[in-house]
Structure 1
Amino acid sequence: MTLRTARRWLWVAVAVATGVFVGAAWTLPSSEHAPTADTSSATPIGGEFSLVDEDGKPRTWSDFRGGPVAVFFGFTHCPDICPTTLGELSVLLDALGAQADELQVVLISGDPERDTPEVLNAYLQSFDPRIVGLTGPEAEVDRAFSAFKAYRRKVPTGGGDYTIDHSAGIYLYDRNGGFAGTLDIHEDMEVRRKKVERLLSVEA
């Protein structure tokens, strides 16, 4: 077992051990920030942005056309939800086998002040290498969060430090960029896997 794989399973073990706490923290801050699966809505969930990935490469939402996408919002200083979710996504990608190569998993940081490409790159070493991290200027991060109807708020914790309160669901998009639903930590892993398999089975 490689160090990367060991870390993934460690995060899953943490998720199981702290399931009650994580389940409570997963809930979106309010219903107005929670997306629905109604793709006929006049206001699309998802849209254009200009960010950079963990290698410093410019990336836009259009770059992810052609394959299904799973989008998660978080930050590298997150003590629980973010590493647990990324660990579970890494295990899910493993479970999907060769199919997983078609799924693009994207983490958009809500903490661009601290999450430089270099920091994101180091952080993502603990997870599946197919997971892409995005960051950028505050204005572009705001634009991305707004486009995806996601929520973030900087919360001071004392001594000049802070945390980020943010939407924590995993948003699914089809090959054409259409919103296709969510994955929720309250769901069994098998349920989440079947959702992704259905998404992968839909042609453009």
Structure 2
Amino acid sequence: MVLRAFLIVVLALLVAACGERASGPTSPFKSTDISKVEWGQDFHLTDHNGQPRSVADFRGKVVLLFFGFTHCPDVCPTTMADMARVVDKLGPDGQRVQGLFVTVDPARDTQQVLASYVTVFHPSFLGLYGDAGATASLAQEFKFFHDAQAADAQGHYAVTHGSAIYVYDPHGRLRLLMGAERTVDTMAADVARLLRG
């Protein structure tokens, strides 16, 4: 009887301890908070207007950075459209959000192709590119997977790639990773929180 009472008390303490940990500080963001990572801190690419670009160029704005390619039939246009919807959903604050599309297919995604592609989604969005070496180094720096498939008889090929959006705060710090579970509402809420500081 005493042993049973002792076990009940121990069990109650364990449950209480678990409850304390579960109700501890949680991230205010819906997206994955990656503020502590040491990778992905900067990039050096050229935009579709021919201007060199790095994170410092967008200080004061939340940056939504997405890796993809213009021949992508599904994930890329869907993600770019969602990013544009976030900008629009934020109203006047949307002017403090910068959408960036980084191509993983620089052989086909030239400056002109990128200019035509990204501005369809939002006039403020920028397409960024580098040569094959710069693209490979950047993918490694951002822990981003991509792999060009074998071309068919007509020379067409797809590029397998991730679907995450990397998010920088207005101070130029990499803060969030928006994964596949994201919605426009959760994206907008997280961006609004970053804009508030």
Q: Same fold judged by TM-score > 0.5?
A: yes
1:54-86 CA-partner distances (Å, limit 9, x unpaired):
112222233233322111110100001101111
- CA drift of 1:105 comes to 1.3
Counterpart code for 2:109? D
CA RMSD of superposed structures (Å): 1.9
| Matching residue within 182, 189, 197 for 1:194 | 189
Gap change, CA 1:143 and 1:36, over 3 Å in 2: farther
**Structure 1 counterpart of 2:160:** 165
| Unaligned segments of structure 2, at least 5 residues | 1-30
Contact 1:87–1:127 at 8 Å: present in 2 too? yes
- CA drift of 1:36 comes to 5.6
Taking the aligned partners of 1:104 and 1:60, their CA distance within structure 2 comes to 12
Aligned length: 166
Taking the aligned partners of 1:123 and 1:193, their CA distance within structure 2 comes to 23
Matched, 1:104 2:112: no
TM-score for both structures, normalised by structure 1 = 0.74
Gap change, CA 1:125 and 1:172, over 3 Å in 2: closer
**Structure 1 counterpart of 2:121:** 127
Alignment of 1:47-126 (within 5 A): 47-126=41-120
Contact 1:49–1:143 at 8 Å: present in 2 too? no
| Unaligned segments of structure 1, at least 5 residues | 1-34
**Structure 2 counterpart of 1:138:** 132
Contact 2:63–2:98 at 8 Å: present in 1 too? yes
Large movers: runs of 4+ above 6 Å: none
Larger radius of gyration: 2
- CA drift of 1:186 comes to 2.5
Q: 57-66 vs 106-115, which deviates more? A: 57-66
Contact 2:166–2:174 at 8 Å: present in 1 too? yes
TM-score for both structures, normalised by structure 2 = 0.77
| Matching residue within 169, 177, 187 for 1:182 | 177
Counterpart code for 1:180? R
